[in-house]
A and B are shown apart, each in its own frame.
Chain A
């Protein structure tokens, strides 16, 4: 099953400690398992542009669609056996400690 992991910042999370960021280890682990499809960091929300089309008009907004203190800092598409495996991989991601990871099953084509 495919899951998209949203790597989300969390202002209430413990402060980020660069020495404890073991993202290379995490990437090596998902690659060894052969479950990673694609994944990357994202530029901050201040660099986002929100696009809306209403009555044929394209409206652009500078910034994310919702004005919150949390933003999506990255994403990883993984293909694993089941939710337990997705949870295990999400829990090992360093941002699960410094932020949070939302695990969303991909809606497959019927």
Chain B
């Protein structure tokens, strides 16, 4: 019985947490209290359900108990009885509204507390790391300790950062809402940037020894799927779908990016039969639906759709040699116009080199040497070294590999570059 209760409770808590916490935050404006009351409700279920049986509607039970706990906490904290009574009344009104869940309460398709919470956590007036931390903690439901681990920070530091971020939301008047239409495109890009950052942090950690942290990437994909559901009627949907497709294509290679020794395996050397072909098929379908929606709603192809199209070229090529690099170079060119960045230019140079020969790529890299933003980016010298190596100019490649080694941020990347250095030194003799 107890094992059964725990299993059901864990499932319900997992699926209902975000919705309940997001609604409590809207009603109380108190983030910590809302999270705590939900946790307390789960704890109560753990003692109550084995004795009294699992309620007919476990989700409704958790919602009601969480709300009652919030009212109790307010009653205790508030010297003014009226405030708690007012809150209780608001929660009641909200519950009446909620009973008619099937009937939209407003004309606005984006009227959803989970979406309000996500947009608030990702508000651009918060520092990027605060946005990521709040999203991990409040939206994804990671513990403070787990959130701290993502940042390689102590629990105490993370707790302080979360407290500061929540305090700024309150004190600076960051509204708890889905942005109005005129702000929606910009703010949606902001949310997608946070999600993609979470995904890439999970997919390849920025620093340190570990290269792949999959659970976080899985969580990011789950949240991106939720965004797809929540943004279903918005003009921003194609970009959300574009991000989901991009994540799926990248995720399909998780198992083959790193070998048993924890070393990097380049795309061209990966065993394509080990790629997750279901994820690739999913990505292709998602990207197709992005394009269908975009054509229906109008608007340009956004940066996530373009990045996903590039990833799709790689993911669906039968072999590395069969990759359509001319098409990829063209897509990078379009991406550079939609979202200009020196890293995009760098990637385009690689694709041009693969399509038209190393010299064409090297000429594009020469231009990037003058870009201060790439001055300490290890992939610029690494790319130049690689193009030189591919055209047999080993002696010329060597100093660029060494420069890349100095700048590389992670152990596996340093090991990879060291192996290349050893190779070109041998070949150069």
Interface residues of A (CB under 8 A from B): 1, 3, 81-84, 86-87, 105, 107
Contact = CB atoms under 8 A, between A and B. Distances in A.
Contact of A105 (B123, B173, B183): B173
Interface in B174-211: 174-175, 179, 183
Contacts of A1: 173
22 contacts: A1-B173, A3-B173, A81-B175, A82-B173, A82-B174, A82-B175, A83-B123, A83-B125, A83-B172, A83-B173, A83-B174, A83-B175, A84-B174, A84-B175, A84-B179, A84-B183, A86-B173, A87-B125, A105-B171, A105-B172, A105-B173, A107-B171
A82 to B, nearest CB: 4
A3 B125 CA distance: 14
Interface of B: 123, 125, 171-175, 179, 183
Contacts of B173: 1, 3, 82-83, 86, 105
A34 to B, nearest CB: 18
Contacts of B183: 84
A45 B183 CA distance: 37
B73 to A, nearest CB: 20
Contacts, number: 22
Given A82-B173, A83-B125, A83-B175, 6 more contacts: A83-B174, A84-B183, A86-B173, A105-B171, A105-B172, A107-B171
Nearest to A87: B125
Dominant SS at the A interface? mixed
A87 B173 CA distance: 11
Contacts of B174: 82-84
Q: Which 7 A-B pairs have the closest CB atoms?
A: A82-B175, A1-B173, A83-B173, A82-B173, A83-B174, A105-B172, A83-B172
Dominant SS at the B interface? loop
Contacts of B172: 83, 105
Nearest to A2: B173
Contacts of A107: 171
A35 B207 CA distance: 47
Nearest to A81: B175
A107 B171 CA distance: 8
A86 B174 CA distance: 10
B41 to A, nearest CB: 30
A106 to B, nearest CB: 10
A52 to B, nearest CB: 28
Contacts of A86: 173
A36 to B, nearest CB: 17
A67 to B, nearest CB: 28
B371 to A, nearest CB: 19
Contacts of A83: 123, 125, 172-175
A108 B72 CA distance: 27
Contacts of A81: 175
A107 to B, nearest CB: 8
Contacts of A105: 171-173
Most chain A beta-carbon contacts within 10 A, residue among B125, B171, B172, B174: B172
Contacts of B179: 84
B93 to A, nearest CB: 22
A68 to B, nearest CB: 23
B260 to A, nearest CB: 50
Nearest to B180: A84
Most chain A beta-carbon contacts within 10 A, residue among B123, B171, B173: B173
A2 to B, nearest CB: 9
A62 B175 CA distance: 42
Contacts of A3: 173
A84 B176 CA distance: 11
Nearest to B123: A83
A87 to B, nearest CB: 7
B128 to A, nearest CB: 17
Contacts of B125: 83, 87
Contacts of B171: 105, 107
Nearest to B183: A84
B220 to A, nearest CB: 26
